[in-house]
Amino acid sequence: MTFRLLLPLGLMFSVAFSAVVSWPARAAGDRFALVIGNAKYPDAEAPLKEPVNDARDLTDELKRDGFSVETLENAGGDAMRRGLDRLYGKIKPGSVALLFFSGYGIQSSRQSYMIPVDAQIWQEADVRRDGIGLEQVLQEINSRGAGVKIALLDASRRNPYERRFRTASAGLAPVIAPSGTLVMYSAALSAVVTDGGRDRSLFVQELLKEIRVPDLTAEETLNRTRVGVTRASRSEQVPWISSSLAEDFSFVPGNGVRPTPPAESSVAPAPAPAPTPTQVVVAPPVPSPLPPAPPAPQPTPVQKVDTPPPPPPVAPAPPAPAPSPVIANVAPAAPAAPAQDPFADDPTIKSLSAKIAANPEDAGALYRRGQVYASKGAYAQAIRDFDDTIRINPKDVEALNNRCWARTVVGELQPALRDCNEALRLRPNFVDALDSRGLVNLKSGAVKNAIADFDAALKINPRLTSSLYGRGLAKQRNGAAQEGALDIANAKAMDPNIVREFEAYGVR
């Protein structure tokens, strides 16, 4: 399955600047903000460094600018929904309502979703179930009578959930927002940003710098932020803005005097994040798993060559029972068992293993555990789980596709090809299987077949980064250097991690 969906160009909004008018005075308490920083996702390899620090810094600034702010850190779904309900309840006709979210975001069915830390996402339907849709939030804020609605999302990160599938993340989708709304994403539509290991994001750093400049409309503030981020990142990160503001609004009025924060804002309520620290368990990979990806898997022939040599004649049968105690003392093989699965204590795997122990024929749990193993680079365990899934249901095209991909990564190319062919026989034009089979053909040197598979996948989803990059490599190997370079450049612009991902698959 894929979360990256074709976005019609007609949905992309341009920034419309209003005529300059005097900044309308607003009473203290007319500005309300909900600031969310989600960093500790159990499915990620490690907590994100930026969101909580960014949320705290922005909270401090918004309070100085007269906002009544509630801040949530590492919030689960219930906590985020309760926080939004409290925000809705404060809004009065003509109020300013601001939402900031930093964490993981996913686009699905042309909508952008903010992901709580406790989301359980295995397929696209789970995004709509556990995620919180930005459009619905803005519509609800609008229905309460807010005059100015501002949404700032620093969520264009490549998230760990797609690592359970063959395809990869593609950032956020354009938003269809009500009139009087200003929306800004930290990166371009359908683009992802690589976290640079900083404690604070470039996006929020530039945003805070511009918010502090008096006598700027909110649109000017965000547009200057976009320019600052673009310059500082050397055009690798270009934020996206959509505006339909009907009136000018400034974070700091033209006289440079900040509005007086309402008394309640001095107490920053953070009621709901309490449960989430229990979910601070981490293990799976975040930007792109870097599995060892053994390139040329021909170990089996080597083992066959080892068998013929003549050790049998040299091995005399031990005659007496006396040596048996010696053998017992010399061969303590028991300790090897615990080290067999280094991921046994991973919370997700542990939970799925418990389900499988209770019901060994639970195909869903086996498939999901296989996905998690694959995301960690434990391909042997993943393939075993996919084997069992397919044994239970030979027509499970998702399991066939995932086993095809896992086998391709470890170099079992002929079995992988059979899996992909079977998945496509059962579901013709299955885009993920076309993409996986393209990788099989690319690794095996059948570059014309690889180009055909990637072409077919890109006709279904033109923003499938792995197919675009794979086609670029295949074209270069087929002699079309310029065409290949263009595909590769476009793929890298959409996903800066794509080169490392293919290198991890043993493809350069």
**What is the per-residue DSSP string for 353-392?**
HHHHHH-TT-HHHHHHHHHHHHHTT-HHHHHHHHHHHHHH
Separation CA 311–CA 307 (nearest Å): 9
Separation CA 379–CA 405 (nearest Å): 10
What residue ranges define each of the domains in the chain, with the CATH number in brackets? 13-277 (3.40.50.1460), 346-504 (1.25.40.10)
Token pair for 254:
């033209």
| 449 to 12, 427, 436: CA distances (angstroms) | 35, 19, 12
pLDDT of amino acid 492: 86
Of 471 and 193, more confident: 471
Q: How many helices (H) and strands (E) does the chain have?
A: 18, 9
Which residue, among 26, 24, 27, 32, has the nearest Cα to 264 in the 3D structure?
A: 32
pLDDT of amino acid 51: 96
Indicate if the pLDDT at residue 78 is higher than 90.
Answer: yes
Of 197 and 85, more confident: 85
pLDDT of amino acid 166: 54
Of 217 and 339, more confident: 217
Helix 379-392 to helix 363-375 angle (10° resolution) is: 160
pLDDT of amino acid 311: 46
Under a CB-based contact definition with an 8 Å cutoff, are residues 155 and 103 in contact? Answer: yes
Separation CA 293–CA 279 (nearest Å): 30
Average pLDDT over residues 389-400: 93
Give the H or E element holding residue 48. none
Give the β-pairing of 31-37 and 68-73. Answer: parallel
pLDDT of amino acid 231: 94
Under a CB-based contact definition with an 8 Å cutoff, are residues 208 and 221 in contact? Answer: no
Over residues 354-393, the pLDDT tens digits come to 999 999 999 988 988 888 888 778 899 999 999 999 999 9
User: To the nearest whole number, what is the mean pLDDT of the chain?
Assistant: 79
DSSP at 14: P
Give the H or E element holding residue 2. none
Token pair for 367:
């498939």
Average pLDDT over residues 466-489: 94
Indicate if the pLDDT at residue 279 is higher than 60.
Answer: no
pLDDT of amino acid 440: 96
What sign does the CA torsion over 377, 378, 382, 383 have? Answer: positive
| Confidence class for position 19, pLDDT limits 50, 70, 90 | very low
Class of residue 387 by CB neighbours under 10 A (exposed 0-12, middle 13-18, buried 19+): middle
Which residue, among 37, 52, 9, has the nearest Cα to 102 in the 3D structure?
A: 37
pTM of the model: 0.58
| Confidence class for position 296, pLDDT limits 50, 70, 90 | very low
pLDDT of amino acid 247: 82
Amino acid at position 391, single letter: R
